Structure 1
Amino acid sequence: MAARTAAPANEVHLVGRVSGEPAARTLPSGDELVQFRLVVPREGRREDGGRTRVDTIDIACWAAGVRRTAGRLPDGQAVEVLGQLRRRFFAAGGGRASRYEVEATQVRRVELE
């Protein structure tokens, strides 16, 4: 079987519900962002027939328009998020730390099926 070719890509498309209130922050650098958590159900059900599993994903909104939209989202609001996966480094507890988050380029309210 021949290998397929593909261009490098970093694209994230998520649809889920906001968990908690979005938080506006100003970093020591002066940069502003709004962060929130998005709860996204996983495909399928648990093997034991229990509740559907979910993933909780951190979303960071840096662009002014996206920050405005995200800052007005109520807890439980269904949203679609487009963006890229980022690893952010920062100072923490006397050392350096990092975290992965989705940097949103678009956030919009949606109705879930």
Structure 2
Amino acid sequence: MANDVRLVGRLTGEPALVELPSGDALVTFRISVPRAALPAGPGVGTTAGQRVDSIPCTAWGPRLRRSILTWRAGDLVEVSGAVRCRFFQAGGATRSRVEVEASAARIMRRSSAA
């Protein structure tokens, strides 16, 4: 069994540094990745016309956080890590979020937009 993810896509916005109530810090960011074409048929398909998925990602390690915070919206990036389901309290309710926890990340090409 394995929980290994590799994403290559565009950064959808500026990464954000988040400090948790515990004092821990993480960086959150989203990557837009193209969807592969699926065969047509009953029960198979995607939201009509959806060509990309926006994947939420986090980075916990100090060195990786510093590197990701230099990224700009539109950069083409590669992220490796694992899928995680994180639980947290918000508005008096327990909520969950599925995200990719990055263990490695790099810029493949900077965005031409400044």
Q: What's the C-alpha RMSD, in Å, of the aligned pairs?
A: 2.0
- Alpha-carbon separation, structure 1, partners of 2:35 and 2:64: 26
Which blocks of at least 5 consecutive residues in structure 1 are unaligned?
A: 1-7
Asked if residue 18 in structure 1 is aligned to residue 11 in structure 2, the reply is yes
Contact 1:44 1:52 in 2 (8 A): no
Q: TM-score, normalised by structure 2?
A: 0.83
Match of 2:63 among 51, 62, 65: 65
Identity rate, percent? 48
- Write the distance in 1 (CA, Å) between the matches of 2:25 and 2:109: 29
Which amino acid letter does the alignment assign opposite residue 20 of structure 2? L
Number of residues of Structure 1 aligned to a counterpart in Structure 2: 102
Partner of 1:104: 102
TM-score, scaled relative to structure 1: 0.84
1:52 shift after superposition: 6.7
Q: What is the aligned partner in structure 2 of residue 27 from structure 1? A: 20
The structure 1 segments of at least 4 consecutive aligned residues displaced by more than 4 Å after TM superposition are none
Residue deviations 1:68-106, cap 9 Å, x none? 111111000000000000000000110110100000001
Q: Distance in 1 between matches of 2:93 and 2:36?
A: 38
5+ residue gaps, structure 2: 41-47
